[in-house]
Amino acid sequence: MIDLHSHSTFSDGALIPSELARRAEAKGYVALAITDHADHSTLDWIVPRMVRVCERICAAFSIRVLPGVELTHVHPAHIAELTCEARRMGARIVVVHGETLVEPVRPGTNLAAIEASVDILAHPGLISDDEAALAAKQGVFLEITSRKGHSLSNGHVLHMARKHGAGLVLDTDSHEPGDLLERGFAEKIARGAGMTEEEASRMFRNSLSLVEKAWKTP
């Protein structure tokens, strides 16, 4: 299992990074990105510390743990700037909190994230044709999620990804121990969204390719 969207006590998660990593390792994970919520007020506090923590975890654990960030409820005009800042500080995976159906995310967030070439647009809700087409062109992955509420639009996200050739990844958006998934259940979520076996396999390969790319990033 590879999961590129999770949260620790650095934002609103229940577990410190080491425990989150250990619990993921025990579930059979081979890679995890810890992507705590951030905006202008917390980015420079979260990312450098997460970089140091992940280095120590990776030296001691069998799981690859990548330092990341989820830009959350950031004004669309500031997403590109903060994406660059996060990467400069060492974030290997940059996620943007997309226009989920269950939160008042500012319209334009999906488009701004895609234009900024973030790694993953999380739970993008009713993503438009133009946005999905641009995501395919920019190489931005759209998220299929197991997170309650956010998962309501999984079927639409799959439809738009199919229509425009956008890449997909499956993440948990874990905040608590019970949110972590074993690979078999992740495959059931993919099927529940309407994926074929080949589409699900491709999606999981996408996650692996992101990990390999991020792992090589200096």
Q: What is the CATH number of the domain that holds 201?
A: 3.20.20.140
Provide the mean pLDDT of the chain. Answer: 97
Residue 148 tokens, joined: 């309650």
pLDDT band at 76 (very low <50, low <70, confident <90, very high): very high
**What does the pLDDT read at residue 69?**
98
- Number of domains making up the chain: 1
Question: Beta strand pairing status for 2-3 and 31-34?
Answer: parallel
Length of the chain: 218
Q: How far apart are the first and last CA of the chain?
A: 24
Average of per-residue pLDDT across 6-27: 98
DSSP three-state, residue 100: coil
**What does the pLDDT read at residue 142?**
98
Average of per-residue pLDDT across 179-194: 96
Report the C-alpha gap between 7 and 20 in whole angstroms: 8
Contact 115, 138 (CB under 8 A): yes
Max Cα–Cα distance, the chain, nearest Å = 44
Strands (E), the chain: 2-3, 31-34, 37-38, 64-71, 93-97, 120-122, 141-145, 168-171
pLDDT band at 218 (very low <50, low <70, confident <90, very high): low
**What does the pLDDT read at residue 216?**
80
Query: Alpha carbon 66 to chain centroid distance?
Result: 11
Summarize pLDDT for 136-186 with one digit per residue, the tens: 999 999 999 999 999 999 999 999 999 999 999 999 999 999 999 999 999
For residue 112, give its domain range: 2-216
